[in-house]
Structure 1
Amino acid sequence: MAGNDPALGRQTKNDESQVIREAARRRTFAVISHPDAGKSTLTEALALHAQVISEAGAVHGKGGRKGVVSDWLEMEKARGISITSAALQFAYGDTVINLLDTPGHSDFSEDTYRVLAAVDCAVMLLDAAKGLEPQTLKLFDVCRHRNIPVITFVNKWDRPGRGALELCDEISERISLRPMPLTWPVGEAGAFKGVLDRTDGGFIGFTRNAAGASRATIQTMTADEAAESVGEEWEQAGEESELLSISGADMDYDEFLDAKATPVLFGSAVLNFGVKHLLDLLVELAPRPTPRPDVDGGARSLEAPFSAFVFKVQTGMDRAHRDQVAFARVCSGRFDRGMVVTHAASGRPFATKYAQQVFGQQRSTLDVAYPGDVIGLVNASNLRVGDTLYAGKPKVTFPGLPSFAPRHFATVAAKDPGRAKQFRRGVEQLEQEGVVQVLRSDRRGEATPIFAAVGPMQFEVATDRLQNEFGVTILLNHLPYTVVRRLGDPNERKLIDGHSSEVLTRGDGAELALFTDDITLRLLLRKHPDVKLESLAGGV
C-alpha cells in the first residue's frame, strides 16, 4: 500500500507523484505595504472573495464592523494596525492559498523579513494617493534581494489620488521594475467607474456595496457597450492603454518570474473592487513551490522526504491554553500529522501530533500538508525561528534566518521582585519568538537583561505582553547606545567594556559591542586598531 512511514519518512513513487501534483496547486504569498495602505483590509477582502468568511471587517470599530481576522493581538485591535504576521490558509477553486499577512509598521520589519523567506510571491500594495512610501521601498528591497516576483495592487482608487500613468512611472523610476498593467482604471482616482481589462479589451464595472462588507457586484461589457454606456472616460482609458502597449508595458510572464517586471491591478480593497481579479491573477501567475536551497548549496527536491523550516514562533494566540505555535513552511515531501521528524539543530526526534491549520487566530487540526503549505506546530517549545525539521536521511538544514541590527536599547526589570520567576519565563518567551532581542552580561546579571529592538514600538509590545500574559509590570530604562557592532574575538571584550560602551551576549551566542556614538567607537579603534568589529547593516 502506498504511503508514508511516519517514523522514517519513507515515500513511495506514488507518493512522490502526488506531492508534485499537490505542490502545483499551492500559491504561497505575502502582502507588503507601508502602514495604512490597506494591507489587512486586502487580506480580509481576499478571504471574502474566496468565500471563507461571510462578511469583511475592514476597519475596526467603525460602523460596528468586525476587526480583521488576521489582527488578533489586543494592541492590533486597539490601534487598527498589524504588528505581527499572521497566516491564513484557504481553498479557492482547486487552488490552495497560503496567505501571509505581514506587519506594516517599520518597527516590525524583522518579522516581515522572516515571512518573506517563506513565500514564493509578494503582492505590493500601493496607496493611490501616496504611491511608493518608505516602508514599501524597504520591503521591496527584501523581495529584490530574495528574487521574489511581485504583483502590484494600486489600492484606494475610490478616493482622490494621483494619476495612474504617474504611479506607473514612479514604479519604473524608483525601483526599476517595469509595470505591466493588466487592468486600467476607467475614471480618475475618486471617480472610479471600473477597469479596462487589458487582456481582452472589455470593461469591468463595479457597483458600490454598503461599506464594502460583501463581495462587490461585477458588471462586464464589451468595448462597444462600454463606449456607449461610460462614454468619455472609457475612451480616455482606451487611449492610455494603447500608449502603454506602445511603451512596452504589456505582460511578459518570464520577466515577472525573473522579478524584473510587475503586473499591475487597480481597485479598492475596502469596497472589494478588483479583489477577485487579483485573486484570479495569483492563481494564474503566482509561482508554484520550487526546490529550496540548503546550507550546502544543493536544492531539496519537492518529492524528497518531508522537510520544513520555522519562520515564526508565536505564543498567546489562544488565551484559554497559552500554548506556543511554531509556523513552518513545508519545503518538500508529504507531511502527515503524527509523523516523527528530526530537529536539525539538536538532532533529536520531534513528534508532530499537535499539528494545526491556521486561519488568523482560528485553528483546526491539520492531517496532511504539502510543499508551499504553512503548518502550525503546537507546544513546540524547543523550536526557534530558522530551525529545520526533516524526515529520513541524510540530514538536511536550510539556511537560518538573520536577526536585524538593533537600534534601540533598554534595561528591563520586574517592578515586583516577587514576580521574578514569571518575569524570567516571559522574557525567555519573547526572546524565543523574536519580539525583541535579549542581551545579557555577567556585569548586569540575569535579573536585568537588555531589550534590543529595531524600532521603539517593539518595547511597547513586549511591555504589553509581559503585563497581560505573565502578569508582570516591568521597569524600562532606555540606554544611550546608538552604535552596535559584532565582536569578532571574545578575548577583546575587556577592551570595550567601559562607561560609554559594553559587550553583551545575544541569545544566539553573538557578542554585540554597544557604543554611545560614533566618536566613542572611533576613539576605541584609534587606541586598539586590531580590535575585530563587524558592521551590522541589515540582517546579522
Structure 2
Amino acid sequence: MAMLLSRHAIRTRLSRPVTYLLSNQATRTFASDVKDFSIPKTRNIGIIAHIDAGKTTTTERMLYYAGVTKRIGDIDDGDTVMDYLKAERERGITINSAAITFGWKGNRINLIDTPGHVDFTMEVERAVRVLDGAVTILDGVAGVEAQTETVWRQSERYGIPRIAFVNKLDRTGAAYGRTIQEIWKKLRARPLALQIPLMDSTEGKGIIGVADLVTMEMIQWDHMDGSTMQRTALDDAKHGELYQEAIRGRMALVESLAELDDGIVEVFFEEADGDHMRVSADALKESLRRVTLDNKAVPVLCGSAFKNLGVQPVLDAVIDYLPSPAERPAALATIDGTKHALIPLEENGKLCALAFKVTHDSRAGPLVYVKVYSGKINKRMTLYNTTVDCKERVNKLLQMYAREAEDIPFITAGNIGVIVGLKNTRTGDTLVQSNDTSSIKSNLQLGNIDIPSPAFFAAIEPASVSEEKAVDEALKNLTREDPSLKVWTDEDSGQTLISGMGELHLEIVKDRLINDFKCKAEVGKMRISYRETCQSEAAVSASYDREVMGKRSKAKCQVEILPVDEDYQDDGSSIVDSGNYLQMDLGEVDESKEQQHQKSSASLSSDSPQLSREEVRRAIQTGLLSGLARGAILGFPLTKLKVKVHNLETFGQDTSVGSISACVANGVQEAIKQAGPCLLEPMMEVHTEVNESDIGSVVSDLSGTRRGHVIGLESSTTDGPNSGYQQDVEVYPPKDSLLANSEVGEYKTKQVVKAHVPLSSMLGYSNGLRSLTGGSGSFSMRVIGYGQMSKDRERGVVEEMRGY
C-alpha cells in the first residue's frame, strides 16, 4: 500500500490558517485558533541532545513538513527559524531555547528546541520543567555523548517520557545498532527499535530508507526535499535480507513489550495465536504508548534529518507515543511553604500557571513564557504573582513562532504561551488570578526551577559615563532573561562584574550587549569566581553609634564565627544560606539604663516606636547576610562558616532596624579578619570515560598536572540511577552498515575515572583529553562545592587579581 504525503496535503490539515506578515515581507501560514485543539490532541515536547547532534536541523524539517515554513532553513546558511539570534547564526549553535507551535495530523504541537552546550544547561532545565514529553536526538556516529547523558538525567528527574531519533546515518562511521546498545548501557533506558535502516554504500550515500517494524512496511522519500513519503509492504522476494532482519526485529519488539506490558501478552495469545507477525500494528502502538508513558522503555527511530529522511515518522511517534497534558501527573505545589498540594489539570478550574522563561523584546518589552496547569489566562486579566507578592496586568497574549508572534485571545490549561505586560515576574514564579484569595493567602507556589551557581566572572565597563544607564538597563534585562547570569558591583574598585556558567556563556552575553542592546562597553578577561572562608574561630563585640540626619542610631552585639566542613551536622536551629549556618540568640534583649530611661519618658508619648521581636530577628539576619557577602581578601562571598549573634543591646528610640543590621554586619566583618581568612576555589566532580588502555595517562594527568584527587574507577555499565536497569537483559540491536555483510558493531565497555578537580585546572581539558586518548575519550563535570587552595596558589591568585 502506498501513501503519498505532500506538503500541500499536510498543510490543509491545519485549522483555519491565518496569514501573518513578516518583516521581510514574506507570508507564513499559522495554525492559530487554539480552541480547535483539545487537551488530548495537544503535545508539549522538547528537542534535547548533545551539541551538534542535529536538534535544530531536525526541527527545521518538522516545520517544513507541517507547512509552517515554505523552505527548509539551513544552519550553514544562517537562515533557520529556531536559531534566530545573530550569535546563534554566526556560531551555528543553539543558545536560546526557542518555542514554536504547529499542527500535525489534527494535533497541536508546542515544541521547544533546547541548546546542547553545557554552558546553557539552565535553558534546558527550565524547558524540561514544563514539558510533557521529549525527543532525544542522537548522533549515529558519536552515539551517546557526555551532554546527552546530562540532558537525559535532567528530563529523568521530572519523569518525562521520551522517544529517541538516531540521526546522521548518512555519514561514514554511523552505527545504528551500536547506538541502541549505548542507550541501554549508558542511559540505562530500555530501547525498543521501531525501525531499521536500509543502507547504500555507493558514493557514500548511507541511509536511503527505513523498514518500519510496527507496520512491516518499507518507507522511502523523494530525493528533492523529502516531503513525499512512500510506504510499500515488506516482501521476502523483493527485499531479501532486509525482510529477514525486519522479521527478527519485530519478534524482538513483541518479546520486549511482553516483558513490560501485560496487555500485549493477551493480544499475542488471544488474537495472534502466538504468532509475532500477526500482532496488529494498532495493538503494538497501544502497547508502546503504555510503556513509554510509564517510562519503562524508549521507542527508537532512525534517519538523517540533513538528507530529509525519517522526520515525518518522528512527528507521528510524537502523537502516537508521547503524552498529552492530561496524561501527565498533576502538578505539585506548596502551601504555606510546608504543605504539599496537587493541582489537577482543569480547563474550568482555578488559574495556576508557571512562568518558566523571560525574554526581552526591544519593542514589546519583557515576554514571559508560561505553562498553564489549570484554568485559563485571558487578555486584560489581572494576575497575582505569589512568589514576589504583587499584582500583574496582562496586556497581550501571544503564541510564539520562534522570533515571530501572533496575538491570541487566551491560553488554556495544558498549553504554553507568552504574556506581554508583566513587570516583576521572573523565571520560576507562580501566577494565579488576582481574586483567588485562598491561593494568595496560602502562598500557593508551584515547584521552583533549580538555578545553578555561576563559576566564572568578568568585569564590564561602559565606554563612557553617558553609556552607564544603557548598560545597566541591558544587564537588568539579561539577568531577568537568564537567571544563571549574576551581576554585582565590586565595592573596592566600583567595577560592575558579571558571572556566568562558562567562557561561551559570558562571550554570548558580551555579544548580545553590543549587537542586540547596542551598548558600548568593554568586557574584561574572564576569571573564576572564588569563595572565601575562615580557618579559625573568633569572637568580637561590635557596636554601632552614628548620627544620621540629626537622629542618633545605636546598637551593640557580640558575634562568634567558626569554620565548618561538609560533614557538619546542624541541630536544626540554624538558618542555612550559601553553605553558612546562621544563628541568632535573642533571649531577653538587653536594655541599657539609657533605654530604660527612654521607656519611662516615652510612656507619655504615643508615637514612641518599639521594635517587635520579628523585626529584630529580620534585622539581624539582614546584617549577617550583608557581612558574609564580602570577604576580607578579595571580596568574594564567604561560605562554610557558622556565625552566631547574641547579647544584642538596644537603646530604645535610638535603636532602629538599620542600626541593628549595620552593627551585626560590622561585627561579622571584624570577626572574619580575626579568624584567619583564606580563599576557596570551585571544585568539579569530573567523570572521564576512556578506553582501558588510556586509564594510566588520564589518571596521571588528573592527579598530577591538574591537581585533582581521583576517587574511583568503575565500568561505564555499572548500575546507575535507573533502578530498572538490568545488565543481563538482552536488547535487540539491528545490524550496522550494509545489512548483508555486517554484524552489529560490538559495544566496548569503557572505564569511568571519577575525580574531584579544581575548576581552574579544567580549562582547556577537552583538547588535552583528545590528545591523551586519540579522540576516544569524553568527559562531563559539575560544580560540587569549594575546596581550599594551597598558600602558594592563593598568593598567585591574589597577585593576579590585585595586580600587585
Count of matched residue pairs: 488
Q: Alignment partner of 2:445: what SS?
A: coil
CA spacing shift, 1:244–1:501, aligned 2, 3 Å: farther
SS in 2 for 1:192: strand
Question: 1:143 is matched with which residue: 133, 155, 164?
Answer: 155
Q: How many Å apart are 1:466 and its aligned residue?
A: 1.4
Structure 1 equivalent of residue 400 of structure 2: 358
Whether contact under 8 Å (2:359, 2:481) holds in the other structure is yes
Distance change >3 Å, CA 185–CA 245, structure 1 → 2? farther
SS in 1 for 2:39: helix
Q: Report what 2:12 is aligned to.
A: none
Offset of 1:437 from its aligned partner? 2.2
Q: CA shift at 1:67, angstroms? A: 1.5
- Within a 5 Å distance, the mapping from 1:57-456 to structure 2 comes to 57-61=73-77, 67-187=79-199, 190-209=205-224, 212=225, 215-224=226-235, 227-246=236-255, 252-289=288-325, 290=328, 291-296=330-335, 297-303=340-346, 304-316=349-361, 319=362, 321=363, 323-391=365-433, 392-393=435-436, 394-395=438-439, 396-434=444-482, 436-440=484-488, 443-444=491-492, 448-456=495-503
1:421-500 to 2 correspondences below 5 Å: 421-434=469-482, 436-440=484-488, 443-444=491-492, 448-468=495-515, 469-482=517-530, 486-489=579-582, 491=624, 493=627, 497-499=631-633
Q: Distance in 2 between matches of 1:378 and 1:504?
A: 39
Between 1:230-239 and 1:115-124, the stretch displaced more is 230-239
Superimposed CA distance per residue, residues 470-497 of structure 1 (whole angstroms, 9 cap, x where no aligned partner):
4222232433435695444363845971
Q: Secondary structure at the match of 1:277?
A: helix
AA aligned opposite 1:481: S
Between the aligned partners of 2:787 and 2:227, the Cα distance in structure 1 is 60
Q: Deviations over 1:402-439 (max 9, x none)?
A: 21122212232223233111111111111111165224
When the two structures are superposed, what TM-score results if normalisation uses the length of structure 2? 0.57
Q: CA deviation at 1:77?
A: 1.4
Per-residue displacement from partner, 1:173-228 (whole Å, max 9, x unpaired)? 1111000122222237953232221112121122322xx3xx4321211122xx34
Match status 1:34 vs 2:50: yes
- Counterparts of 2:312 and 2:292 in 1: how far apart (Å)? 20
* Counterpart amino acid of residue 343 in structure 1: N
- Please give the secondary structure, in 1, of the residue aligned with 2:38: helix
Q: What is the CA deviation profile of residues 427-467 of structure 1, one whole-angstrom value per residue up to 9, with x for unaligned ones?
A: 1111111165224357357x523222112111112111211
Asked if the contact 1:163–1:188 (Cα under 8 Å) also holds between the matched residues in 2, the reply is: no
Is the partner of 2:141 in helix, strand or coil? coil
Larger radius of gyration: 2
- Identify if the C-alpha distance between structure 1 residues 522 and 330 changes in structure 2 by more than 3 Å, giving closer, same or farther: closer
Q: How far has the Cα of 1:76 moved from its partner? A: 0.8
Could you say if the C-alpha distance between residues 188 and 246 of structure 1 is closer, same or farther in structure 2, counting changes exceeding 3 Å?
farther
Return closer, same or farther for 1:103/1:388 CA change in 2, 3 Å cut-off.
same
Whether the aligned pair in 2 keeps the contact of 1:313 and 1:327 (CA below 8 Å) is yes
Q: CA–CA distance in 1 between the matches of 2:445 and 2:307? A: 44
2:628 and 2:638 in contact (8 A); partners too: no
Residues 123-149 of structure 1, C-alpha deviation per residue, up to 9 Å, x if partnerless?
100011111111111000101111111
Q: 1:186 to 1:243 in 2, by over 3 A?
A: farther
Tell me the amino acid that sits aligned with residue 245 of structure 2: Q
* Root mean square deviation, CA, Å: 3.1
**Higher relative contact order at CA 8 Å, sep ≥6: structure 1 or structure 2?**
1
- The SS at the match of 2:144 is coil
Separation in 1, partners of 2:679, 2:359:
28
Letter aligned with residue 404 of structure 1: P
**How many angstroms apart in 2 are the aligned matches of 1:501 and 1:515?**
12
Distance 1:362 1:495 in 2: 42
CA distance in 1, matches of 2:83, 2:355: 21
Cross-structure match for 2:40? 24
Distance 1:145 1:346, change over 3 A: closer
> Could you list the per-position Cα deviations for residues 142-184 of structure 1 after superposition, in whole angstroms to 9, with x for gaps in the alignment?
0111111111011112223333222111111111100012222
Separation in structure 2 between the aligned mates of residue 457 and residue 241 of structure 1, nearest angstrom: 45
The farther-off stretch of 157-166 and 286-295 is 157-166
Contact 1:341 1:390 (8 Å CA) reproduced? yes
Q: Which moves more between the two structures, 50-59 or 34-43?
A: 50-59
Stretch moving more, 245-254 or 451-460: 245-254
- 8 Å contact from structure 2 (residues 48, 136) kept in 1: yes
Identity across the alignment (%) = 26
Structure 2 CA distance for aligned equivalents of residues 442 and 266 of structure 1: 52
Q: Which moved more, 1:328-337 or 1:236-245?
A: 236-245
Measure, in 2, the Cα distance between the counterparts of 1:270 and 1:277.
15
What is the CA–CA distance in structure 2 between the aligned matches of 1:34 and 1:367, rounded to whole Å? 37
1:22–1:370 CA contact under 8 A, matched in 2? no
Aligned letter for 2:315?
L
Structure 1, unaligned stretches of length 5 or more?
Answer: 1-17, 506-512, 525-540
Q: Distance in 1 between matches of 2:36 and 2:492?
A: 53
- Residue 307 (structure 1) shift: 2.0
Shift of 1:382: 1.5
* SS across alignment from 2:507: helix
Map of 1:14 onto structure 2 = none
Q: Distance in 2 between matches of 1:33 and 1:311?
A: 20
Deviation, 1:241, is 4.2
CA distance in 1, matches of 2:98, 2:115: 9
Task: Tell me the distance in 2 between the aligned counterparts of 1:70 and 1:109.
Answer: 18
Assess, with a 3 A threshold, how the Cα gap between structure 1 residues 494 and 431 changes in structure 2: closer, same or farther. Answer: closer
- How far does residue 85 in structure 1 lie from its aligned partner after superposition? 0.6
Counterparts in 2 of 1:459 and 1:435: CA distance versus 1, 3 Å: farther
- Change in 2 beyond 3 A, CA 1:197/1:454: same
CA distance in 1 between counterparts of 2:492 and 2:412 reads: 47
Match in the other structure for 2:735: none
Deviation at 1:373, TM superposition (A): 1.7
Q: Is the 8 A contact 2:397 2:410 kept in 1?
A: no
Structure 1 window deviating more from structure 2 (343-352 vs 42-51): it is 343-352
Post-superposition shift, 1:244?
A: 5.0
Aligned equivalents of 2:638 and 2:480: distance in 1?
A: 17
Q: Distance in 1 between matches of 2:104 and 2:446?
A: 30
The one-letter code sitting in structure 2 at the alignment partner of 1:295 is: T
Residues 407 and 165 from structure 1, CA distance in 2 versus in 1: closer, same or farther, beyond 3 angstroms?
same
Distance verdict in 2 for CA 1:345–1:19, change over 3 Å: farther
